[in-house]
Amino acid sequence: MPKPRYLFVGAGFSGAVLARELVTRMECEAVVIDSRPHIGGNCHTERDPTTGVMLHVYGPHIFNTSNERVWAYVQQFGVFRPFINRVKASTSRGVFSMPINLHTINQFFGKRFNPVEARAFVAGLGDQSIEEPQNFQEQALKFLGRDLYQTFFYGYTRKQWGCEPTELPASILKRLPVRFNYDDNYYNQKFQGIPEDGYTAIIARILDHPAIEVRLNTAFRRGDAEQFDHVFYTGPIDAFFDFSEGRLGYRTVNFERIDAEGDYQGNPVINYPDMEVPWTRVHEHKHFAPWETHERTVAFRETSKETAPDDVPYYPKRLAADREILLRYRAMAEAQPGVSFLGRLATYRYMDMEAVIGEALEFADAFQRTTLRSASDSEG
């Protein structure tokens, strides 16, 4: 019997991890296509020819997970150097530490609170009339009060998402911790790091297997599916169905490059939450690799906008109208024979790298179980 041939659409973490798992666990051949000229999706990294700095081409990616399986998995494919993301917010009232922690609170209010005092103080600022926060703004007002919300969240969120924070789900704010100690680590996860030679090198090693063929600059056409036993689609779900139900809303980001000598801003990421500043944040990429030395530096001012048809989609907006459209696409996806949809774009969810990898591994487990079961059924 010829080996089954599977098509993986998209060479980001989803497509790469699933392809690798399937060719490792079962007899099959994988073709991984990507419409872009590089693998790695939005995690793509490459060396900047002028400075030698490793660039996170689609914006900063700091690997963070508490999932032991995911952490063990990625480390098979490269060295992750310890990296703790410490973000600053530059506002008209000064420069503060993010996410909001005891240092932020004490500096912002000119206090010398201990953790217990700070907790009581911030609780007193919160709007107690909000019982169940229904959106981002209510979540912030309930737990932080107006002053902290206006300074650190309102403008940033308006600029980042292009809508009022009342239109956004409370879950977006819940991504960020508020701490009543001096821990200024941006993430709460157990394992945090950045690959020594970039994410693209990691994904290249995941894809480096004799049963995997990678084709770049190759757009997916639905007719391609006929040549394969199964298609694993990780692109935008609305594009798969030729936008028949309408376009899902995404935000995209633009980067304005700044070249400088030495150290431009003294930190990897500085957020600019004031509405008067057009950009949301500035990232200086040499600081994501503190184990390297470079004389010159390169930073990017990040601005956010609505995604036009030719833009790279970044953040799924998931407004009420989007969720309705999504339900229709989901029903169509379930009725689509021989195609599975996975990853950030195909499921239209706000997913970090670790979630994408975790789901690809679980997807491989489930696919393997079904395939084994149908093989033993046909033998029996």
The CB density around residue 78, as the number of other CB atoms within 10 Å, is 18
DSSP 2: P
Pairwise CA distance, residues 353 & 347, whole Å: 14
For ligand UDP, give the closer residue by CB, 152 or 367. 152
Q: Which amino acid is at 196?
A: E
Report, in Å, the least distance between residue 306 CB and ligand UDP: 15
For ligand UDP, give the closer residue by CB, 26 or 178. 178
Q: Do the Cβ atoms of 52 and 65 come closer than 8 Å?
A: no
DSSP 234: -
Report, in Å, the least distance between residue 168 CB and ligand UDP: 7
The CB density around residue 68, as the number of other CB atoms within 10 Å, is 10
Report, in Å, the least distance between residue 123 CB and ligand UDP: 20
For ligand UDP, give the closer residue by CB, 20 or 251. 251
Which run of H or of E encompasses 348? none
Pairwise CA distance, residues 96 & 144, whole Å: 16
For ligand UDP, give the closer residue by CB, 173 or 203. 173
Q: Which residue has the tokens 């036009």?
A: 308
Report, in Å, the least distance between residue 222 CB and ligand UDP: 31
The CB density around residue 3, as the number of other CB atoms within 10 Å, is 12
Q: Which residue has the tokens 């770049």?
A: 216
Decide the pairing of beta strands 230-233 and 29-33: unpaired
Classified as helix, coil or strand, 235 is coil
Active site residues: 175, 179, 251, 281, 302, 350, 352
Q: Do the Cβ atoms of 353 and 58 come closer than 8 Å?
A: no
Report, in Å, the least distance between residue 272 CB and ligand UDP: 8
For ligand UDP, give the closer residue by CB, 95 or 327. 95
Report, in Å, the least distance between residue 225 CB and ligand UDP: 32
For ligand UDP, give the closer residue by CB, 160 or 307. 160
For ligand UDP, give the closer residue by CB, 85 or 200. 85
Pairwise CA distance, residues 28 & 19, whole Å: 10
Report, in Å, the least distance between residue 42 CB and ligand UDP: 11
Which run of H or of E encompasses 322? helix 320-334
Q: How far is CA 301 from the centre of its chain?
A: 18
Torsion sign across C-alpha atoms 123, 128, 131, 135: negative
CA nearest neighbour of 48 among 283, 297, 347, 233: 297
For ligand UDP, give the closer residue by CB, 32 or 168. 168
Neighbouring-strand partners of residue 95: 90
User: Which residues contact ligand UDP (rule: CB under 6 A)?
Assistant: 89, 98, 152-153, 156-157, 160, 172-173, 175-176, 271, 273
Pairwise CA distance, residues 234 & 153, whole Å: 32
The total number of residues shown for the chain amounts to 380
Decide the pairing of beta strands 269-271 and 87-91: parallel
Q: Which amino acid is at 106?
A: N
Report, in Å, the least distance between residue 173 CB and ligand UDP: 6
